[in-house]
Structure 1
Amino acid sequence: MEKMKYIMRFLTAMVVCLSLLIGCGDTYLGVEQVVIDTNRPDKLTVNKVVAQSGALEIHFSIPAGNPNIDQVVATYKNKKGENVEFKVSRYSSTILVEGFTGTDEKSIELACVDVSGNKSDITTVNAAPLLSPLEIAFESLFVEPAFGGVRLKWKNNNANPLAIHVLTEDILQVGVVSLVEDPTKTIYNRDSVNTFAFVRQYPSIEQKFGFTVSDKWGNRSDTMINSLIPYKEEEIEFKYVKAVSFFNPTYYAGSRDYGIYGVNPATGIQNDANAHAAGNAPQTMFNGVTSGNLYYGYKFVKDLSNTDPSKRETVHDVYATFDLNMEARLNRVKISPRVHISYTYSRSSPKRFRIWGTNDANSARWAKFPEGWTLIGEYVGKTPVNLASLTDEEKDWFNNNQEYLINEDNVNPDAKPTEPFRYMRLQLMESYNKNEAYYTINEFQMFGEILKRY
């Protein structure tokens, strides 16, 4: 009996397999099978070639009446002797062939390929591209000394992906100094506007730097070599910076009425903000602590006592004043905000601020403002593409690398970023959420050239 069951199952399986084989003659599960042939398609016709930067845009027509043509392939050999291939579908009439350097004539081979993999005879195009993005960047590359290093500028008008490689002096063997690439300093650029960068930190002594440019196609420029002396940059040590009380800062856990507390009646100058408590005083911006819940300064409110909230007006400008106990020319400042995610590009974190400076020559510095003071610069924080979905890079900049270059990032044409000063008045102008009643900062770091200590 068991033997009979085995025979029946075997016969059933054979019948099913035969049925499938018979049914697969033209279709399988309703999908038509591709007919394979060996007939080569006719050649394509090139109609026009447009030279572009490091590329050739080739306009073509495929042979008429051949529905089996699947794609068009363009191939050339790069400087390493490797084949570089580009493909477009049959529905395209142009193909962009990229990755060239130089403006001499290039040879590109084009062919049609059908659904069976058959390739047509080759159509050869000989044409010269325009100067490549890599070469434009290299020829426009300008290097100059900067605080703590060097500053580079270049052109990348079409926002092509480029990398600038930095070579610095290194002793590979005793008595021999060579230029060696430092991969930690490589600059990656895919932007037509932000085409500058700083390379730091280096001592303020004459030294050689080398720079080369590469692109995504593996092309690499020659090496530009410069002998430069970086400007000396020092951190303005927080232990020397002291908050001053000449503009009447106070402690109070809330906003105060501008008409009563906001202005010094003797001078007509707006007072410094009231801090939430002693642990949130202006001095906490200069204590070396870059995390926590430190400076917490309230905005004044006009007509605060008015029972109708619509009649109240928030004064968004908040001041804090300091004595650096040295005369310095700033190069950059770095803000450490409250690090909780709710403060990242949000809430009371400062978005726009100004730096005012003066020195001992201004004997009326505590009685007059802004008269006698110099606007060093005005700065605006970045705005993320999508606040609801911050990228890791956006979060890292805001919380760890929120840096402002005193000269390059200044947005106020009336400012004098190179002016040295001893006394600083920090003016917070706008928070990321204007509805917040206060500003918060953990640390305000400054870097530059110290001209004199007191």
Structure 2
Amino acid sequence: MKRYIIYLFLCLVSSLSLLSCMDSYLGIEQLDLGGGKPEKLTVDKVVSKPGALEIHFSLPAGNPKHSQVIATYINKAGNEVEFKVSRYSHIILVEGFTGTNEVSVELAVVDEGGNKSDITQVREKPLLSPVEIARQSLLATPAFGGVKLEWENKEAQPFAIHILTEDQIQMGEKTLIEDPSKTIYSSDSLNTATYIRQYDNVEQKFGFVLSDKWGNRTDTLIELITPFKEQLIDFNTVKPVAYFNPSYGTSGKDYALFGYNLETGVQNDGIAHSANFGPQTMFNGITAANNFLAYKFFKIPEGQPTQRTYVHDLYVTFDLNQDLRLSRVQIYPRPSASYLYARSSVKRFRIWGTNDANTTRWSKFPEGWILIGEYEGKMPANMASITQEETDYFYNKQEYAVSEDNKNPDAKPTESFRYMRLQLMESYTPTETFYTINEFKMFGEVLKSY
């Protein structure tokens, strides 16, 4: 029993001795290993970056107990901002600055016991921040049904564009109120333009404010803008036509036998997999399904009966049952991950149009028809690492402005038409033998209904 009491006494003494060596560091009890505070670090070089300072430093030699380096500064809101790197790094990136005035950053070395060195101060001027560059370059112009926004984000830094519109707070008094549902998030150096809709065809005041992850907000860009008149084209009015001999089948067909009309020489429409995947499913209001699927024709080279080369141009023809002038179209591909910028998803296409005045419209093509526009889908900045923003764009926001996004100088995007012939020209995987589209949504101005 006596031996047991002596053992407990020794444990208690040891515990008290250990606690006497403890010190509080950032709210966590750290073991004080002695030796006093570490020496100051040495700043070797400071590189100015957009909204940041890249500080190169050297730790004092001969102290293996260094744990980390901490950099702090006080932002414009009066709050302390802190950055940390381990002892194995010799560079610390301090971010969140705005403006190009000189800023002050304090650096300190912390050892394993929580001891902190004296401060090393750095004073330098950062470059203009990405959110400020975006604000300076921000351009708001009228678009069909809304506003087109364009900006720069060469550093691919994340920031948000907040949209403000007028709201009446009391009789005769209006103010700009933010609409959170319209907020635009940018983190891409390529996709730096978008549209905000739907707004009436009247002059109205818009405000645009940008903010970044550090809580910085720019001043407000205020513009008086009159959106162009636009409406969503009712998909129920759009019907496929059979004048170019569309067919059904479970694979491609020989172009020499089925690909064109022997009397007119005009290429026939494509081969839909079945009625459940036929042209009408492209206009049924369903944006997330496995709808339209049509196979390409193939050609057999002379003397090589086992070889096939595919005709990549595939046509689908519709009667819109109204004369309209298109402003933009949206394509909704299959939502499966395997179709993301890949497989049979349509990458390049043309829109052809004509009207009732063209009496030879079913016997001649492209003669008598008008090329409304040619369009090509965007590619991710890095196919090996597709961002969430790029994924969301492809599945839900793949939009083409009929005039601005047209790639063909011979096209006439402002012409009105009743009959439409889609020319699917290229899929994201060129070797695919078919094309798929879930929905082809159209916007514009209806001039006449039938």
**Which TM-score bucket, shorter chain as reference?**
0.7 to 0.9
Alignment partner of 2:261: what SS?
Answer: coil
CA displacement, residues 122-154 of structure 1 (integer Å, 9 cap, x when unaligned): 222222222111211111111011111111111
- Return the offset for 1:252: 5.0
Match of 1:92 in 2: 89
Alignment partner of 2:157: what SS?
Answer: coil
Match of 1:322 in 2: 318
1:340-355 aligned at under 5 Å gives the runs: 348-355=344-351
Q: Structure 1 residues 203, 14: closer, same or farther in 2, change over 3 A?
A: farther
| In structure 2, distance between residues paired with 1:55 and 1:277 | 58
Determine whether 1:116 maps to 2:130.
no
Match of 1:157 in 2: 154
Counterpart among 262, 265, 268 of residue 265 in structure 1: 262
Determine whether 1:175 maps to 2:181.
no
Determine whether 1:210 maps to 2:207.
yes
How many aligned residue pairs are there?
438
- Return the offset for 1:180: 0.8
The farther-off stretch of 99-108 and 357-366 is 357-366
Match of 1:282 in 2: 279
Q: Structure 1 residues 16, 204: closer, same or farther in 2, change over 3 A?
A: same
Alignment partner of 1:310: what SS?
Answer: coil
2:72–2:83 CA contact under 8 A, matched in 1? yes
Q: Structure 1 residues 36, 440: closer, same or farther in 2, change over 3 A?
A: closer
2:350–2:371 CA contact under 8 A, matched in 1? no
Match of 1:220 in 2: 217
Counterpart among 418, 430, 439 of residue 443 in structure 1: 439
Match of 2:43 in 1: 46
1:377–1:416 CA contact under 8 A, matched in 2? no
Letter in 1 for 2:321: N
1:69–1:114 CA contact under 8 A, matched in 2? yes
Alignment partner of 1:447: what SS?
Answer: strand
Alignment partner of 1:134: what SS?
Answer: helix
Counterpart among 51, 58, 62 of residue 65 in structure 1: 62
Q: Structure 1 residues 287, 64: closer, same or farther in 2, change over 3 A?
A: closer
Q: Structure 1 residues 18, 410: closer, same or farther in 2, change over 3 A?
A: farther
Q: TM-score, normalised by structure 1?
A: 0.82
Q: Structure 1 residues 340, 307: closer, same or farther in 2, change over 3 A?
A: farther
In structure 2, runs of 5+ residues without a counterpart are 19-29
Counterpart among 373, 376, 381 of residue 379 in structure 1: 376
- Return the offset for 1:383: 7.0
Match of 1:357 in 2: 353
| In structure 2, distance between residues paired with 1:62 and 1:407 | 59
Q: Structure 1 residues 338, 59: closer, same or farther in 2, change over 3 A?
A: closer
Determine whether 1:298 maps to 2:300.
no
Match of 1:30 in 2: none
Q: Structure 1 residues 117, 352: closer, same or farther in 2, change over 3 A?
A: same
- Return the offset for 1:91: 3.2
2:373–2:407 CA contact under 8 A, matched in 1? no
Letter in 2 for 1:116: G
2:372–2:414 CA contact under 8 A, matched in 1? no
1:378–1:415 CA contact under 8 A, matched in 2? no
Letter in 2 for 1:422: R
| In structure 1, distance between residues paired with 2:395 and 2:195 | 20
Match of 2:100 in 1: 103
Counterpart among 358, 366, 370 of residue 370 in structure 1: 366
CA displacement, residues 388-438 of structure 1 (integer Å, 9 cap, x when unaligned): x99887776555555444345545565444443332111223445666654
Q: Structure 1 residues 277, 158: closer, same or farther in 2, change over 3 A?
A: closer
Match of 1:29 in 2: none
| In structure 1, distance between residues paired with 2:389 and 2:130 | 26
2:375–2:400 CA contact under 8 A, matched in 1? no
| In structure 1, distance between residues paired with 2:312 and 2:102 | 62
Match of 1:234 in 2: 231
Counterpart among 419, 424, 428 of residue 428 in structure 1: 424
Of all paired residues, the percent bearing the same amino acid is 58
Counterpart among 110, 127, 130 of residue 127 in structure 2: 130
- Return the offset for 1:256: 3.3
The farther-off stretch of 330-339 and 37-46 is 330-339
| Greater Cα radius of gyration, structure 1 or 2 | 1
1:244–1:321 CA contact under 8 A, matched in 2? yes
Q: Structure 1 residues 132, 250: closer, same or farther in 2, change over 3 A?
A: closer
The farther-off stretch of 233-242 and 137-146 is 233-242
- Return the offset for 1:52: 1.9
The farther-off stretch of 111-120 and 284-293 is 284-293
Q: Structure 1 residues 356, 171: closer, same or farther in 2, change over 3 A?
A: same
In structure 1, runs of 5+ residues without a counterpart are 1-6, 27-32
Q: Structure 1 residues 320, 98: closer, same or farther in 2, change over 3 A?
A: same
1:296–1:439 CA contact under 8 A, matched in 2? yes
1:171–1:177 CA contact under 8 A, matched in 2? yes
The farther-off stretch of 72-81 and 169-178 is 169-178
The farther-off stretch of 444-453 and 153-162 is 444-453
CA displacement, residues 240-295 of structure 1 (integer Å, 9 cap, x when unaligned): 32323332334556543321221122222111124455555433433445566654
Match of 2:142 in 1: 145
2:300–2:306 CA contact under 8 A, matched in 1? no
CA displacement, residues 186-208 of structure 1 (integer Å, 9 cap, x when unaligned): 11111111111211111111111
Alignment partner of 1:311: what SS?
Answer: coil
The farther-off stretch of 223-232 and 58-67 is 58-67
| In structure 2, distance between residues paired with 1:83 and 1:281 | 61
Alignment partner of 1:136: what SS?
Answer: helix
Q: Structure 1 residues 288, 125: closer, same or farther in 2, change over 3 A?
A: closer
Q: TM-score, normalised by structure 2?
A: 0.83
Q: Structure 1 residues 376, 100: closer, same or farther in 2, change over 3 A?
A: same
